[in-house]
């Protein structure tokens, strides 16, 4: 079994490659990894193009939802985007928070940070910054953010509990998050669990939906609600790279499901999580 650090290196290396890929390649694959499909054009990502602040250069087609659409960002807010990539959600968040707010993108892939900074420079934004760092230990002081957003990133992190603890730390009291992620209902086939490409492709790093929501609540968040849920159907031409025809048939017939969920959670006004005071 691979260590947490080894899994992080797999993701870091793959996303350095993905930073150089075009959007079409990314959205016809699983988060830019695991090969491309000729059966399905858009496997996971939702359409950002109608959201204010959308910038095509920053859209690599890597998400599995529209967390900024549901994030209830207000003018003047400070927003943190976890796994900010080329800056897509940061620029949408900036449109909502305005010139009086601030947006901080965090990513641990240098190629993504460089791409995002170039995009911000072209747009002339002086209140959007991108910081290199691990979202398990963000380069941000406590009680900084009004809102935290993230799109299809926590499923890539082996220790999701550490990320949620740090989200709680960086949020102001009564701040909240809106996060889109991939979760499972039922057991993933072993051949999909065991492949590095499916881990980097946002699938085999996903956990059970009930476990995911319980983990959020156990870290002190309240008012936890699933804002949106959609099923993700993996096309046959991608599955055939890992499974036989009979195994794919059995997988299709099973009750196992892969879902994108967008989840809201709030940090209480008073400290109530163990060790947060």
Asked whether residue 182 is domain-assigned, the answer is yes
Cβ contact 200:15 at 8 Å:
yes
C-alpha distances (whole Å) from 175 to each of 143, 172, 218 are: 9, 5, 17
Report CA 42 to chain centroid distance, whole Å.
Answer: 17
Domain membership of residue 45 (yes or no) is: yes
Angle between helices 209-218 and 160-170 (to 10 degrees): 40
Flag whether 97 is in a domain.
yes
Q: Which residue has the tokens 């031409």?
A: 237
Phi/psi zone of residue 138: left (φ > 0), alpha (ψ -120 to 50 degrees), beta? beta
Burial per residue of 139-171, b for 16 or more beta-carbon CB atoms within 10 angstroms, e otherwise: ebeeebbbbbbbbbbbbbbbebebbbbbbbbbb
Q: Which two tokens stand for residue 144?
A: 């900084």
Question: Which 3 state secondary structure label does DSSP give 211?
Answer: helix
The whole-number pLDDT of residue 25 equals 47
Tally of domains within the chain: 1
Can you give the pLDDT at residue 274?
A: 57
Q: Considering the domain boundaries, does residue 40 fall inside one?
A: yes
In a domain, residue 272? The reply is no
- Copy the structure tokens of residue 210: 């009930």
Query: What is the crossing angle of helices 4-18 and 110-123, to 10°?
Result: 40
The answer to whether position 62 is within a domain reads: yes
Say if strands 102-107 and 128-132 run parallel, antiparallel, or are unpaired. parallel
Classify strands 257-266 and 222-231 as parallel, antiparallel or unpaired.
Answer: antiparallel
The pLDDT assigned to 220 comes to 96
The per-residue pLDDT for 272 is 54
For residue 273, the model assigns a pLDDT of 54
Q: What is the pLDDT of residue 187?
A: 84
- How far is 182 from 201, CA to CA, in rounded Å? 10
Average pLDDT per block of 10 residues along the chain, 277 residues long: 68 63 46 45 71 91 90 98 95 97 95 94 96 96 97 89 97 97 86 60 78 97 97 80 85 86 94 54
What residues does 179 pair with on adjacent strands? 150, 263
| 277 within a domain of the structure (yes/no) | no
Please give the pLDDT value at position 9: 67
Structure tokens at 218: 């156990």
Structure tokens at 233: 């159907």
Q: Is residue 178 part of a domain?
A: yes
pLDDT in the model for residue 38: 46
Could you give the C-alpha distances from 85 to 117, 225, 259, in angstroms and in order? Answer: 10, 26, 22
Q: Which domain holds residue 123?
A: 4-266
CATH assignment of the domain containing 234: 3.40.50.150
């Amino acid at each position: 079994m691979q260590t947490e650090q080894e899994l992080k290196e797999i993701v870091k290396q793959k996303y350095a490659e993905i930073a150089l890929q075009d959007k079409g390649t990314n959205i016809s694959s699983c988060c830019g990894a695991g090969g491309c499909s000729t059966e399905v054009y858009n496997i996971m990502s939702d359409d950002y193009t109608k959201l204010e602040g959308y910038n095509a250069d920053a859209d690599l087609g890597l998400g599995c939802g529209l967390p900024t659409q549901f994030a209830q960002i207000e003018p003047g807010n400070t927003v943190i985007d976890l796994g900010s990539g080329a800056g897509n959600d940061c620029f949408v968040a900036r449109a909502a928070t305005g010139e009086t707010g601030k947006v901080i993108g965090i990513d641990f892939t240098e190629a993504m940070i460089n791409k995002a900074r170039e995009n911000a420079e072209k747009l002339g934004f002086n209140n959007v910054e991108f910081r290199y760092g691990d979202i398990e230990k963000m380069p941000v002081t406590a009680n900084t953010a009004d809102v935290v957003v993230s799109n299809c990133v926590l499923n890539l992190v082996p220790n999701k509990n550490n990320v949620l603890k740090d989200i709680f730390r960086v949020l102001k009291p009564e701040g909240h998050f809106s996060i889109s992620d991939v979760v499972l209902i039922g057991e993933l086939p072993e051949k999909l669990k065991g492949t590095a490409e499916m881990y980097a492709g946002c699938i085999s790093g996903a956990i059970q939906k009930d476990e995911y929501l319980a983990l959020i609540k156990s870290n002190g968040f309240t008012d936890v609600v699933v804002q949106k849920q959609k099923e993700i159907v993996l096309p046959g031409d991608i599955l055939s790279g890992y499974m036989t025809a009979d195994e794919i048939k059995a997988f299709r017939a099973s009750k196992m499901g892969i879902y994108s969920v967008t989840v809201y959670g709030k940090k209480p006004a008073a400290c109530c999580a163990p060790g947060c005071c």
